[in-house]
Structure 1
């Protein structure tokens, strides 16, 4: 069976498996437990337009998770079929951000990079954030000013309650080559945490699309 699970898919499927396992602990009614398990399996399978039989069966193993050890083993099994995040090099950085000089990759292990939904990092001296993500089938880079806040809030990308900041980027106004307008979102200050929380790239994709359109 070939790799078919993106890192965002992985986070979502594992969340459903976790919901099924811990939710089942709250009732002694086997009918309710089974209904919850089937519901979680349906949600996990529904994120794919099409699944091969073996792929569907893999996700269906959620039904048989009855311990934390089995939940952990299920997560490890899913990782065997992950589509890794593309390799990012200094040459990639120069191509995606040609106007930014001396831009360096953040220090991450090979394993951390493989499991990214997107790669992001802060340049605190310039108060900027840089993001590299897959968009329309290829790596895309976006950058903008980043102003951290002192409070937690809901991140626009991962939709979790984390320490956030305002990420604001300029885009050209339609019909003009000289005028710009700013668009912004409150997103996680820590991009690695954000990436590990993302269960769907829809919000990130929509933001990149608005910047690039």
Structure 2
């Protein structure tokens, strides 16, 4: 069986496995437990357009998780089927951000890079945030001004309560190439945390699409 699980898929599937296991601890009714397990399996299957029988069988192992040890074993069983995030080096950064001089890729160990949903980092001196993410089948880079907030809030990308800041970029107004409009989202200040929290790329994809449109 070939790799078929993106890192965002992986975070979501593992969350459903945890929900099935820990949720089952709250009742002694086996029917309720089984209904919860099937519901979590259906949700995990739902992130894919299509699955073959082997892939469905792998995810269906959520039903048989009855201990934290079995939850950890399920996690390990998923690992061989994860699609790695592409390795990003200085050449890739230069290609994606050709107008930004002396910009370098952040240093991450290979195994950490492969587990990313997206790569993001802050240039605190320039008060900017840079993001590299797969979009429409290829790596895409977006950048914008970043103003950290002193408070925690819900991140627009990972939808978790984290320390956030305003990520804002100017784009050309539709129908007028001389005017620009600003779009912005409150997102995690720490992009590594955000990537690790992201269980769906829908909101990130929509933001990139708006920036690139």
Please indicate, yes or no, whether the TM-score normalized by the shorter chain is above 0.5: yes
Paired residue for 1:6? 6
CA distance in 2 between counterparts of 1:123 and 1:132 reads 14
Q: Is the 8 A contact 2:16 2:41 kept in 1?
A: yes
Aligned positions of 1:1-213 closer than 5 A: 1-213=1-213
Deviations 1:18-52 (A, max 9, x none): 00000001111111111100000010001111001
Shift of 1:178: 2.5
Deviations 1:61-102 (A, max 9, x none): 000001111101111111110000012111100100000011
CA distance in 2 between counterparts of 1:72 and 1:146 reads 37
Shift of 1:175: 2.3
CA distance in 2 between counterparts of 1:59 and 1:30 reads 20
CA distance in 2 between counterparts of 1:90 and 1:107 reads 10
TM-score by length of 2: 0.99
SS at match of 2:132: strand
Shift of 1:187: 0.2
CA distance in 2 between counterparts of 1:76 and 1:164 reads 32
Q: CA RMSD in A?
A: 0.7
Q: Is the 8 A contact 2:167 2:185 kept in 1?
A: yes
Tell me the number of residue pairs that the alignment of Structure 1 and Structure 2 aligns.
213
Q: Specify every segment of 5 or more residues in structure 1 that has no aligned partner in the other structure, as ranges.
A: none
SS at match of 2:81: coil
| Runs of 4+, deviation exceeding 2 Å | 175-178
Bigger mean CA offset, 168-177 vs 127-136: 168-177
